[in-house]
Amino acid sequence: MAKVKAQSAKDQIGTQPNPKKRARPSAEFDVDQWVDFIEIALYEDPSVLGLGPKEEELYQGFIRILNQLSENPGAQRRFGEAATRVFESVKPLPLYAEAIYTLLQIINHLTPTMAKPLVRRRVFERAFKDLQFAAMNLHSFALAIAGRWDVDPHLANHIREFNEGPLEFRDRILSLRLLARRDPSEAYSFLPKVISELQAEERVKQLYRELRGVTISHTYVGLFRWYRDNQTRLQEVANFPLFRDMLMHKMLPREALSKSTNDPYERLFAYYLHADSLVPAEMDDLYDMRGGSSAEFYGELLSVLDHARIRTKTIVDDPMSPGNMMMTRGTPLDQEVVKNKNGSISVDRITKESFLVALQELANNEMYQPYATN
Amino acid sequence: MLHWRNISGFLRTEVVSRMKDRQRGLAWLNGLRASKDGERLGVCMAIDIHSESLPAEIFAEILGRVDLKIEDSRVAFARALEQLIDERFNCPSRHRVEPGANGDRYIRVLRMDDLVRYFMSPTSYELEPTAPFEFEHTRKKYFEDKDQLSLGEFDRCWSGKRERVWVLPRQEYERLQAYAAEASKALPTVLIDALGFGTPAGAANQIPELVAVLYPPEIPVHSAQPTAVDACWFCEGGFYLSYRNEDSWGRTHSSSGTLPPVKERVHPKIEKLTDEYVAVRLGTPSESSVDPESPLLDAYARAEKIWPKSKRRARKTK
Q: How do residues B21-79 score in pLDDT, each as one tens digit? A: 999 999 999 999 999 899 999 999 999 999 999 999 999 999 999 999 888 999 999 98
pLDDT exceeds cutoff 90 at A269: yes
CA–CA dist A114, A300 (Å, integer): 45
Encoded amino acid at A205, one letter? K
pLDDT exceeds cutoff 50 at A349: no
Residue-range domain boundaries for chain B: 4-95+295-317, 96-283
Model confidence band, residue A318 (pLDDT cutoffs 50, 70, 90):
very low
Residue B51 forms contact with A (CB below 8 Å): no
Predicted-complex ipTM score: 0.88
Mean pLDDT of chain A, nearest integer: 79
Query: 3-class SS at A98?
Result: helix
pLDDT exceeds cutoff 90 at B297: yes
User: Which of B23, B77, B125 is the best substitution to test chain A (most A C-beta atoms within 10 A)?
Assistant: B125
- Nearest-CA distance from A176 to chain B in Å? 10
H or E stretch covering B211: strand B210-214
Q: What percent of chain B has pLDDT over 90?
A: 74
CA distances from A17 to A49, B21, B38 (A): 18, 25, 20
Residues B96, B100, B104, B108, CA torsion sign:
positive
Residues A224, A225, A227, A228, CA torsion sign:
positive
Q: What percent of chain B has pLDDT over 70?
A: 95
Whether A84 contacts A118, CB under 8 Å: yes
Model confidence band, residue A332 (pLDDT cutoffs 50, 70, 90):
very low
- The reported pLDDT for the residue numbered B13 is 96
Task: List all residues of chain B from 216 to 235 with a beta carbon under 8 Å from chain A.
Answer: 232, 234-235
- The reported pLDDT for the residue numbered B145 is 84
Query: What average pLDDT does range A268-277 have in this prediction?
Result: 90
- The reported pLDDT for the residue numbered A361 is 52
Contacts of A14 in chain B (CB under 8 A): 31, 34, 71
pLDDT exceeds cutoff 70 at B311: no
CA–CA dist A195, A233 (Å, integer): 13
- The reported pLDDT for the residue numbered A51 is 74
Residue-range domain boundaries for chain A: 24-149, 274-374
pLDDT tens digits along A234-268: 999 999 999 999 999 999 999 999 888 889 999 99
What's the pTM?
0.84
Dihedral angle over CA of A87, A90, A92, A97, nearest 10: -80
pLDDT tens digits along A49-76: 877 666 678 888 898 888 888 778 899 9
- The reported pLDDT for the residue numbered A195 is 97
Q: Give A164's contacts (C-beta < 8 A, 6+ positions apart).
A: none
Whether B235 contacts A50, CB under 8 Å: yes
Query: What average pLDDT does range A73-88 have in this prediction?
Result: 94
Whether B248 contacts B137, CB under 8 Å: no
Whether B55 contacts B312, CB under 8 Å: no
pLDDT exceeds cutoff 80 at B238: yes
CA distances from A351 to A140, A282, B180 (A): 60, 17, 58
Contacts of A56 in chain B (CB under 8 A): 160-162, 232, 234
Q: Give A363's contacts (C-beta < 8 A, 6+ positions apart).
A: A371, A372, A373
Whether B266 contacts B226, CB under 8 Å: yes
Residue B69 forms contact with A (CB below 8 Å): yes
Residue B137 forms contact with A (CB below 8 Å): yes
Nearest beta carbon to residue A53 from set B31, B196, B204: B196
